[in-house]
Chain A
């Protein structure tokens, strides 16, 4: 015991040396690795990356985090970023990263053949990988599907205390509101948000999976989520009383709100060739199937079929707001959201 302070000192010095060694050697280790910053839930991306790793022999290091947080991080790290690839679930964030010149324009024939142009940046600095729709999940015991024809219906007083929504930091919510704003203008969007706020009360969730859970348990009657959360829940609990509702399909209506998950290579990446291999893997038919099925999303490759459990992609229309516009719409949308005081 008598030498404990010195033991602590010695321990600290030893650990400090180790830490220094760690810091110094990290870039060296990274030489044959591909570092992926991912805003997609870890268990929805890791199996795909593992598959790529075992096929290509390229080792992948994954950092899972929030999408906006990662864009902030990329911005802060600038040229020093260790990241080679940025993969996330929101086209608006990808486009924003492109505008900040964080991503690298890519010239890839395979990509242009596989992914239709409306789902990627003009210079391919980001490439969509799968489609996702912002829709209504409802409890089949509490709600008749014909009670809701448009997302805007959710703001009506009859849904007071019966609605669950994601919090305002959610990129899906921001993208969804951006589309509504572009379609209906500020005034109606504001009314819509006001209604959401009143109707949801304290039912504001960090994760969409929690919203689906709340609807399945009857805690609330309806919720706003991305479509795949419903199917993911149903896959685990087939008897859950929930269903997906595709809104705004009437003649001249807005259409369903679509977003894509996508990928981009960072401007600072030193492993562009490996990154290209990963993208080729993901846009090829097998990769598309794997990537989309894991999360019950819609593949963007026209020849790849979606999971049969999903609503047939040809049976509904998507909103006409181009994905790349989501980035420029985001700040004004956030201002609206904050003016209303959504959590």
Chain B
């Protein structure tokens, strides 16, 4: 009876969720407001000078990176699921490591290695004569390669799990009907894993259009980079607002397209018969080829840059880089990321809970509002938070509160993506059973609900922690005095081309990210409670 009355009147939880949603929407509204109140003159000036180039640069980069990550991610997932070779289990893990390497770190390592007069060019010139030139990393090709090497694990991870869950009987039927392996792949397998690939590519594309660090180090002009430049180079922030609005619109278009893709291609298991594929063990030549391919990709995306960072760090440390100041940066980074991730989990909880338990229109709208942060790249989130704080709570401006708000706003969607399914998987039946067996609400939450959702929540926390630790533009713009993070140190040193000095901080970001990443992708850990649920 108690529950019945609760359904009618808006519960305190509902109020909390509505208020949170309003706050989460404020920055986006503010950006739209700034852009729409800009004079037609500033719109037309930007439109005739900067916008076409920026749109073209951003879109072409996103497209080319998506294409390469598609090829890399899918081929690697295919190899890992369908073939067996020595060390496969290790490589299966290792291919996710690039996610621990921030794009700006990869960018600065490659800017050094392949830049003018860098080691790669010297070697190339020794081989091909003094006039030989390599493709500059500060070019479209260079940025594309760096971004693709850093983001292909998104596609790899999702494609791999889709392939693992794929029922092979479909393929077997196709083969039995006389289709060639190639046609089977194109007509049967790919369409079946299309939603996973679309989701992976959407992650890649959102990542590319919101990246700031790599494009600024490689001097490639995208919208996000331009927003940052407008914000830091001018007193009038209208132009930043206009460019931000374009970014927001672009991100929303991508998100909507991806959702549409997913909805259009939903497949159902029709019978209970389900088998996963067996792994082939190819001949010596095939195995060698596969291993070379895997090692090459891993080496380029993680091995070489990590080795470079270690090499530089050793040099920097021997010059005394590990002083008290450095450990201060480490503390700042970990403290801030942990706090913001924790805060985001707490803030996201009522939103996700209400939307999955009482999916009224209002509750779902509140959840959607939280996803608005997805469309706000770092500098844009920073711009909005900065202005809102200075208008409404200037006392807090310049404290870490401002940073925390920007982080929660920007990264909450990432966390919600694992909190939401975790809550959805708990069927109300389980809770009802607990109730009928005489559990009190509190006991039910502790014994049934929490254990079921905890993994999803830990995953959310870890994901946000990882991303916040790497975050750059918002931290650059909003950090309090004397509060540098590891990411800031990397950027400050690397943009002045003090590669060695940047290395210890960069290496530490990678090292701190790795265990979290491993925890996240270990399938056993994630699947432990799944049997209870289904």
A82 touches B398 (CB 8 A): yes
- B496 to chain A minimum Cβ distance, whole angstroms, is 6
Whether, in the assembled complex, B216 has its beta carbon less than 8 Å from a beta carbon of chain A, the answer is yes
List the A side residues contacting B518 at CB < 8 Å: none
A207 to B216, CA, bound (A): 11
A19 touches B49 (CB 8 A): no
B219 touches A204 (CB 8 A): yes
B492 touches A5 (CB 8 A): no
List the B side residues contacting A338 at CB < 8 Å: 45-46, 49-50, 239
**Within residues 361 to 403 of chain B, which ones have a CB less than 8 A from any CB in chain A?**
386-387, 390, 394-401
Q: Which of B345, B387, B395 contacts A8 (CB 8 A)?
A: B345
Decide yes or no: A12 and B116 within 8 Å by CB, A63-B482, A80-B398 being known contacts: no
Whether, in the assembled complex, B126 has its beta carbon less than 8 Å from a beta carbon of chain A, the answer is no
Decide yes or no: A63 and B481 within 8 Å by CB, A68-B233, A80-B394 being known contacts: yes
Cβ proximity bits B458-492 to A, threshold 8 Å, 1 near / 0 not = 10010000000000000011011110000000001
B45 touches A205 (CB 8 A): no
Whether, in the assembled complex, B117 has its beta carbon less than 8 Å from a beta carbon of chain A, the answer is yes
Decide yes or no: A8 and B229 within 8 Å by CB, A35-B481, A80-B397 being known contacts: no
A210 touches B497 (CB 8 A): yes
List the B side residues contacting A66 at CB < 8 Å: 232-233
Whether, in the assembled complex, A28 has its beta carbon less than 8 Å from a beta carbon of chain B, the answer is no
- Between B221, B458, B477, B482, the greatest number of chain A beta carbons within 10 A of the residue's beta carbon is seen for B482
B339 touches A15 (CB 8 A): yes
A68 touches B234 (CB 8 A): yes
Q: Which of A41, A78, A202 contacts B219 (CB 8 A)?
A: A202
**Within residues 72 to 94 of chain A, which ones have a CB less than 8 A from any CB in chain B?**
72-73, 75-78, 80-83
Whether, in the assembled complex, A64 has its beta carbon less than 8 Å from a beta carbon of chain B, the answer is yes
Whether, in the assembled complex, A272 has its beta carbon less than 8 Å from a beta carbon of chain B, the answer is no
List the A side residues contacting B450 at CB < 8 Å: 2, 5-6
- A70 to chain B minimum Cβ distance, whole angstroms, is 9
Q: Which of B46, B335, B398, B495 contacts A15 (CB 8 A)?
A: B335
- A24 to chain B minimum Cβ distance, whole angstroms, is 10
List the A side residues contacting B268 at CB < 8 Å: none
Which 7 residue pairs across A and B have the least CB separation, nearest first?
A169-B233, A12-B342, A341-B49, A76-B390, A69-B232, A15-B339, A63-B481
- Between B48, B53, B139, B219, the greatest number of chain A beta carbons within 10 A of the residue's beta carbon is seen for B219
Whether, in the assembled complex, A16 has its beta carbon less than 8 Å from a beta carbon of chain B, the answer is yes
A5 touches B457 (CB 8 A): yes
Q: Which of A134-142, A212-220, A245-253, A287-295 contacts B (4 or more CB under 8 A)?
A: A212-220
List the B side residues contacting A11 at CB < 8 Å: 338, 342
Decide yes or no: A170 and B233 within 8 Å by CB, A1-B454, A8-B345, A213-B497 being known contacts: yes
List the B side residues contacting A83 at CB < 8 Å: 481
Decide yes or no: A167 and B386 within 8 Å by CB, A12-B345, A217-B117 being known contacts: no
**Within residues 30 to 68 of chain A, which ones have a CB less than 8 A from any CB in chain B?**
35, 37, 41-43, 61-66, 68
A42 to B396, CA, bound (A): 26
Decide yes or no: A65 and B45 within 8 Å by CB, A210-B497, A219-B116 being known contacts: no
A331 to B49, CA, bound (A): 17
Whether, in the assembled complex, A188 has its beta carbon less than 8 Å from a beta carbon of chain B, the answer is no
List the A side residues contacting B135 at CB < 8 Å: none
Whether, in the assembled complex, A315 has its beta carbon less than 8 Å from a beta carbon of chain B, the answer is no
- Between A170, A335, A341, the greatest number of chain B beta carbons within 10 A of the residue's beta carbon is seen for A341
A168 to B48, CA, bound (A): 17
- Between B221, B235, B335, the greatest number of chain A beta carbons within 10 A of the residue's beta carbon is seen for B235
30 CB contacts below 8 A, A to B, read A4-B454, A4-B457, A5-B450, A5-B453, A9-B342, A15-B335, A16-B342, A19-B401, A22-B399, A42-B492, A43-B496, A63-B481, A68-B233, A76-B386, A76-B390, A76-B394, A77-B390, A77-B394, A77-B397, A78-B390, A80-B398, A81-B398, A167-B229, A168-B233, A169-B229, A202-B139, A206-B219, A219-B116, A339-B45, A341-B49
- Between B239, B345, B399, B404, the greatest number of chain A beta carbons within 10 A of the residue's beta carbon is seen for B399
Which residue numbers of A lie inside 8 Å of B, CB to CB? 1-2, 4-6, 8-9, 11-12, 15-16, 18-19, 22-23, 26, 35, 37, 41-43, 61-66, 68-69, 71-73, 75-78, 80-83, 96, 167-170, 202, 204-207, 209-210, 213-214, 217-219, 331, 334-335, 338-341, 343
List the A side residues contacting B476 at CB < 8 Å: 65
List the B side residues contacting A202 at CB < 8 Å: 138-139, 219
Closest to A69 in B: B232
Closest to A168 in B: B233
List the B side residues contacting A204 at CB < 8 Å: 219
Decide yes or no: A169 and B232 within 8 Å by CB, A9-B346, A64-B492, A77-B397 being known contacts: yes
List the A side residues contacting B394 at CB < 8 Å: 76-78, 80
Q: Which of A15, A35, A43, A206 contacts B338 (CB 8 A)?
A: A15
List the B side residues contacting A73 at CB < 8 Å: 398
Closest to A66 in B: B232
List the B side residues contacting A41 at CB < 8 Å: 496
List the A side residues contacting B283 at CB < 8 Å: none
A19 to B235, CA, bound (A): 31
- B398 to chain A minimum Cβ distance, whole angstroms, is 6
List the B side residues contacting A23 at CB < 8 Å: 396, 399-401
A69 to B234, CA, bound (A): 8
A296 to B43, CA, bound (A): 42
Cβ proximity bits B200-240 to A, threshold 8 Å, 1 near / 0 not = 00000000000000001001010000000111111111010
A68 touches B235 (CB 8 A): yes
A207 touches B495 (CB 8 A): yes
A169 to B404, CA, bound (A): 28
